[in-house]
Structure 1
Amino acid sequence: MFKKFLICLAVVFAFNTQAAEPAVDLKDPYKMVRKVSDNTFARITNNQPLIEKDKEYLRTIVEEELMPYIDYKYAALRVLGNHVSKVRAIEDKEEKAKAIKELQRFIDVFQKYLIATYAGVFTQYTNQSVEFAPAQPFKGQDVVVVKTKIVEPGKPDIKIDFKVREDRDGNWRAYDMIAEGISLLDAKQSEMQGILRQQGIEYVSDLLEQKSQLPVQFRGEGGDE
């Protein structure tokens, strides 16, 4: 399930083959999504010889072109769900400091895991195209849904909604994606809750770190989720 979401995310953030300018307007969620799409795919296109020689370079592209516009910290905490509330409720200072350190490690590992997974997904990009719904007024809102549709000849259209949130500095970044009505964060949270309860956050962080260190490749629906 998680892999399907990332495939869709990679397609949307890499759909345009036109030359891209580096500037990204973080003050407009709609312009941000479009510009990141342009910049990411332009970088991939221009570096194809290097990528063909070493797919690990895709990690660098993802880290530099895509991740600055993904609110992975907020997403990671959302994935942990009520575990974060439990940490906040801890009264013992030493115990709380230890728990906060574990949270920080999970956030760092979650970012690396996303980078590795996005890099693998980008190895599979072909000629899909994306249609964006018209931008809507967003003044006064702190969460905006950017609606898109992935179009590929001979296959059904895939409806994708990106949730983009405004931070305290007034900058917008994506934090969740809803594919055909299913939330990426909700799906990943459901997957992790049982492991968190049984094995703890350190085990989950170790698991994600191991996955993030695997060589860059697309592992399909039966592989790395």
Structure 2
Amino acid sequence: MLGRVLIAIAALWFSSISSANEPVDLNDPYKMVQQVADNTFKRITRDQEAITESKEHLRVIVEQELLPYIDYKYAAYRVLGSYIQKVRNISNKEEKAQAIEHIKQFIEVFKNYLVATYAGVFTQYTNQHVEFSPAKDFAGDQVAIVKTTIVEPGKPDIKIDFKVRRDSNNEWRAYDMMAEGISLLDAKQSELHGILRQQGIEHVIELLDKKSRLPVQFRGDDGSK
């Protein structure tokens, strides 16, 4: 199921709209999602030769077309969960400084892990269709949910809620996906929570770093090719 959900997310990003390739409107969460999708689709089409030569080029596309619109720092904090509060409560200055440095390292490897994950997902895109629900009034809201439905012939529709948040600069960026009501961010937190508690953040950092450095390819639910 997770494998198909990830492919569906790729379809969400790749869904093209009719507007011209224009600067992304970070003041409107609904326009932001659709414009990023459109710009990414055009970039993939333009770079097909480079992608055919090396799938690693998909990392470049993800970093340039998607990453600026993903609040990976906030997502990383959410994944770490209660560990953040634990660090805040450390009284020893040296110990706290070291813990903060580990958090910074985690954020960086988590970012790289997201890039590798999306690059791998994009290798599976086969022109799935996405339908966007009508935009809602978001004035005064700090979080908005862009509802979409992924349509693929011969398979059940998949509902994806794309969660975006308003930052201190009043700009909107994505931080989570709800696939059929299941948060991918919460799933990642559950996956890493036990490892973080039992083996520590340094081990988690090493684990994500190794995964992010693997060759770009799609991996199924069990992590295999």
> When the two structures are superposed, what TM-score results if normalisation uses the length of structure 2?
0.96
* Residues 148 and 160, structure 2, Cα contact 8 Å, conserved in 1: yes
CA distance in 1, matches of 2:50, 2:114: 21
Give the residue type in structure 1 aligned to 2:129: S
Mapping of residues 156-167 of structure 1, within 5 Å = 156-167=156-167
State yes or no: 1:27 paired with 2:27: yes
Deviations 1:105-152 (A, max 9, x none): 000000000001100110110010100000000000000011000001
> When the two structures are superposed, what TM-score results if normalisation uses the length of structure 1?
0.96
* Residues 5 and 177, structure 1, Cα contact 8 Å, conserved in 2: no
> Identical aligned pairs, as a percentage?
64
- The equivalent of 1:154 in structure 2 is 154
Give the residue type in structure 1 aligned to 2:140: G
* Residues 72 and 111, structure 1, Cα contact 8 Å, conserved in 2: yes
CA distance in 2, matches of 1:217, 1:2: 15
Deviations 1:135-180 (A, max 9, x none): 0000000000110000011111100101100000000001011000
Deviations 1:46-94 (A, max 9, x none): 1111100011110000000001111000001101110011011111111
Give the residue type in structure 1 aligned to 2:74: Y
CA distance in 2, matches of 1:178, 1:159: 8
* Residues 3 and 224, structure 1, Cα contact 8 Å, conserved in 2: no
CA distance in 2, matches of 1:95, 1:53: 47
- The equivalent of 1:44 in structure 2 is 44
CA distance in 2, matches of 1:132, 1:119: 23
Count of residue pairs brought into register by the alignment: 225
CA distance in 2, matches of 1:10, 1:84: 30
CA distance in 2, matches of 1:185, 1:214: 21
Give the alignment's Cα RMSD to 1 decimal. 1.6
Give the residue type in structure 2 aligned to 1:69: Y
CA distance in 1, matches of 2:189, 2:40: 27
State yes or no: 1:118 paired with 2:128: no
State yes or no: 1:145 paired with 2:145: yes
CA distance in 2, matches of 1:57, 1:18: 26
CA distance in 2, matches of 1:175, 1:190: 17
* Distance change in 2, residues 1:44/1:110 (3 Å): same
- The equivalent of 2:82 in structure 1 is 82
* Distance change in 2, residues 1:24/1:148 (3 Å): same
Instruction: Write out the 4+ residue segments of structure 1 that deviate beyond 3 Å after TM superposition.
Output: 1-6, 17-20
Q: Which runs of 5+ in 2 are unaligned?
A: none
- The equivalent of 2:169 in structure 1 is 169
State yes or no: 1:92 paired with 2:122: no
CA distance in 1, matches of 2:2, 2:93: 36
CA distance in 1, matches of 2:3, 2:76: 16
3-state SS in 1 of match to 2:222:
coil
* Residues 17 and 34, structure 2, Cα contact 8 Å, conserved in 1: no
3-state SS in 2 of match to 1:27:
coil
CA distance in 2, matches of 1:92, 1:20: 54
* Residues 5 and 158, structure 2, Cα contact 8 Å, conserved in 1: no
